[in-house]
Structure 1
């Protein structure tokens, strides 16, 4: 190879190597072949039996021997696919202690770089175009398969939110979204 050829070839190879590294970082193609399964229980689902009255330490914790209220569904819906096949269900649940979680059950979607969980004011179909103003991030997606919980901050008014969204922050695309229809009763 002539000296002038090396002056051209070496910088081109260097640029290609840098571009390949950036591409691998951004797209993380190996995630197309991996899965992360998460199997979390619903917090507070197993409520201990309440005592039937006062104990030696004083009145019962539950007040009058009534068992504490268990988890209660506030809203729920099924996932629809957007940029990636996504299935399973989402529900918002008020726990016995008054806190709330967004729960994914039987989730099945793709892994990806920088995937996050949001509540959006948009319907599931409209989320494909973007999250909309007022969307609330609940954290990184813990896994692309299984059952998982995401705490909802106490100051969030859930009546404003119409969908739970699995969102790739790196590429600003929705993997899928579930409508959150209020549960009556």
Structure 2
């Protein structure tokens, strides 16, 4: 019987170890078992450097959610809204585009429930929610990393962005170029 040399065994064992490390980095399987909940109030005005600043929570008993205030006399105004549909991962909740009293704009995700994942981002897309499954399309605008896979959260829309051209809000995994889910944005009747 031949003896296996140390020079043969070490490289043979290193290949699966390196492959396992790369797989863990790319897929981050532990995210399938974790949740991050974020519950932000609807901002009253935009803060410094375009970041939303949280406004006071509603106390009038009007049934508002997550600290939002009804649009009255220059308050936040809903521009468009829609419900999420599932693509690659179960996703539900509502997306709203909101103009703040100071003219700033935010995308607000409410009652969001989706999966955690590696490098998940929030986008506005010119494509319909169903079509985004095949890709974000030209003119998509990234709003930032997903803050949490559950809850209520706000994403500042870059100044000067015309929201009328966007048809969906998308939870998008950059690493694998897939949509977890998307919400069609239908204009809200004034």
Alignment TM-score, normalising by the size of structure 1: 0.86
Query: Could you list the runs of 5+ residues in structure 1 that have no partner in the other structure?
Result: 49-66
Counterpart in the other structure of 1:40: 40
CA offsets, 1:96-147, max 9 Å, x none?
Answer: 1110100000000000000000000000000000000110000000000000
Alignment coverage as a number of residue pairs: 167
TM-score with structure 2 length normalisation?
A: 0.83
> Of 24, 44, 69, which residue of structure 1 is paired with 2:74?
69
- SS in structure 1 at match of 2:32: helix
Shift of 1:12: 1.5
Task: Answer whether contact 2:123 2:140 (CA < 8 A) is retained.
Answer: yes
SS at match of 2:43: coil
Name the counterpart of 1:31: 31
Q: CA 1:2–1:39 in 2, change beyond 3 Å: closer, same or farther?
A: farther
Deviation per CA, 1:55-103: give whole Å up to 9, x if none.
xxxxxxxxxxxx8511110000000000000000000000111101000
Could you say if the C-alpha distance between residues 23 and 120 of structure 1 is closer, same or farther in structure 2, counting changes exceeding 3 Å? same
* Other-structure match for 1:19: 19
Q: Is the 8 A contact 1:47 1:70 kept in 2?
A: no
